[in-house]
Amino acid sequence: MTPPESVEELAKLSIEELAQVEVTSVSKRAEPLASAPAALFVITQEEIRRSSATSLPEVLRNAPNLDVQRINARQYAISARGFNGYETANKLLAHIDGRSIYSTLAAQVFWELHNPILDDLQQIEVVSGPGGTLYGPNAVNGVINITSKSALDTIGGLARGHIGATDRNAGLRYGVALGNDGAGRIYANYFRRNGLPGGPAIDADDDYSGIQAGFRADFDAGRDRFTVQGDFFDTDTDLVKGDGEKGRNVLLRWGRTLSAESGFHVQAYYDQFQRDYLLVRDRLETFDVEAQFNAKVRNHTIIAGAGVRTTKDLFLNNLNPFRLTPNSERLWIVNGFLQDTWAIGPTLDLIAGVKLERSSFSGIEVLPNARIAWRPSKADFWWASISRAVRAPTRIDRDLNFLPLLATADDFKPEKLWAVEAGYRGQPTTRTQVSISLFFNHYDDLRTTELTAGALPIRLSNGLKGNSWGIEAWATHQLLPSWRLQFGIATLRKEFKFKENRVDLAKGESLGNDPQYRLMARSQIDLSPNVELDFGTRFVDGLKRPAVKGYVDADARLGWRITDQVELFVAGANLLHESRAESAYKNGGQLVERSVVAGTRVRF
């Protein structure tokens, strides 16, 4: 099914049509959501527009298979299937339009570096579970793919803004046609967020403001499609004068259709960012080239690809004695992958693939996966899989030192995962869509902090192993033509132990701080053709190490479309508490506050 081209078109989609929305994250090729053999949740453009979120990390709270913890006014920890925490959420890979936003410093995603105009996002696909075969190391517990709209779909102008006691934003985008086959747009997005009150950490002046701007051009000439896009950003924090983040990126993509069932694309991008905070400078430069080919040969659908990436980092710490040695290093990564979907019968597919990747920093990794997919009827889809994934060692893992207390650890090995999953996706009624998945993960070589032969210095090592398991389920029900409901649940149990003769001076800190279960419910009501009322609530179980109480909270949004061009809205987040703790991070965690904003969206 062709993706909907406008908000109005998407809003009219029935439950059956939503099941056929195209996704690309599971197989790296377009396929209907109903046939994607993985635990995949899609946040549609309509859900982004109608959410009360004012930033990209807040939008991700809509995915039941993600745990989102706000650290302070600018930082978030986001994870799937455990290991969450600002310094431990290192097993989730994230892409924006095919560009990795993962940092090699500590295998984290710095969400504060990404502030697009939310109206420009086409779709967010959240896969929980390993994705190493197609995405490589670090796609251990999940992959987030964020895609922005084609410039061909954003001709004309858009102005969007909101203001509240703690959150202000103003964005402007304008797009024009470029000949008969192309279009381009430019945009700028300014934001300012007030600091949050002290919580696990002392009250810090974490006011945060900045601007992100950029462009995108798309050309569709039938067989060939071209995209060129780029962004730059500049942010400021009030904590220390001069602190903040700067960055820029540019991406080129060329795709060609060879036949109805075959084609290829080539993509290259350059990305550079620098973070300055509290006498620390962290800079990363990335250049990446990849090519992918897909074809159908009889009853085999084959996807193959290869890529080269090089990164150069710089880490300068004048805050304390901890250092990276060397303080700057260039890494090279070469990879290739092959995956075949074999249609054994009209309702049964066997999927098998493997990725080989060699890093100049951590060596060679083999990342296989096998899946089976069975569609006994148009309304029912079953799948199961077994996969291997790894988290590659980072510069922090191997090169951080502070002698005589902490020594480097050149022998730190990749953290490993074997995952077994099974799931069902279907439509028990024409008004209901359901997805249920179960997973069992076996981890080995997880990070510990240990003495060297019983004495100083301490070193980072691989002394933990264990299992985690759980259920992820969500359902969408069209109660009335004008009223849609959504429910979600995610559970997580963990059982880890030390390997023989191993200890962890950090007491299992690398395992993260996760709730055992999360529940969510959302309601979208069209009170009239021009008035929308959206409400969402979530219950998140408490955290244990360190302890943070569980909470129930709610978000709401009331929108009034005065004309096809002008919309007014009022949105509130965290409405049930004036303030509450969400993270136990002692080096920067603040309390989350109630927030209400009023805004407008104008098209011209």
User: What was the pLDDT predicted at 2?
Assistant: 44
Q: Provide block-wise average pLDDT over 10 residues at a time, the chain (604 residues).
A: 46 69 90 94 95 96 97 96 95 96 91 97 96 93 97 97 96 97 98 93 90 98 96 89 94 96 96 94 97 96 97 95 96 97 96 97 96 95 97 96 96 97 95 96 98 93 98 96 96 96 93 97 96 97 93 98 96 97 91 97 96
CA dihedral 574, 578, 583, 585 (to 10 degrees): 140
Q: If we measure between CA atoms, which residue out of 86, 56, 110 comes closest to residue 276?
A: 110
CB 108 within 8 A of CB 89: yes
Phi, psi angle pair for 35, to nearest 5° = -115, 15
Strand bridging mode 156-164 / 595-603: antiparallel
User: What was the pLDDT predicted at 12?
Assistant: 55
Q: If we measure between CA atoms, which residue out of 11, 52, 15 comes closest to residue 534?
A: 52
Place of tokens 């895609």: 147
User: What was the pLDDT predicted at 3?
Assistant: 45
Q: Report the C-alpha gap between 33 and 23 in whole angstroms.
A: 6
CB 108 within 8 A of CB 100: no
Q: If we measure between CA atoms, which residue out of 230, 280, 143, 211 comes closest to residue 587?
A: 280
Place of tokens 């009853």: 299
Question: What are the beta bridge partners of residue 584?
Answer: none
Residues 6+ apart with CB under 8 A from 529: none
User: What was the pLDDT predicted at 545?
Assistant: 83
Give the pTM: 0.95
Q: If we measure between CA atoms, which residue out of 314, 291, 285, 287 comes closest to residue 303?
A: 291
User: What was the pLDDT predicted at 5?
Assistant: 43
Task: Output the DSSP codes for 556-573.
Answer: EEEEEESSSSEEEEEEEE
User: What was the pLDDT predicted at 594?
Assistant: 97
H/E element, 553: strand 551-561
Q: Report the C-alpha gap between 101 and 76 in whole angstroms.
A: 14
Question: Quick count: other Cβ atoms within 10 Å of Cβ 482?
Answer: 13
Task: Output the DSSP codes for 413-426.
Answer: PPEEEEEEEEEEEE
User: What was the pLDDT predicted at 255?
Assistant: 97
Phi, psi angle pair for 33, to nearest 5° = -55, -40
Q: Report the C-alpha gap between 21 and 4 in whole angstroms.
A: 8
Taking the alpha carbons at both ends of the chain, their separation in whole angstroms is 29
Q: What is the DSSP letter of 118?
A: G
Residues 6+ apart with CB under 8 A from 346: none
User: What was the pLDDT predicted at 13?
Assistant: 65
CB 237 within 8 A of CB 206: yes
Strand bridging mode 142-148 / 93-96: parallel
User: What was the pLDDT predicted at 102?
Assistant: 86
Task: Take residue 399 and report the two structure tokens written for it.
Answer: 């090169």
Q: Report the C-alpha gap between 589 and 592 in whole angstroms.
A: 9
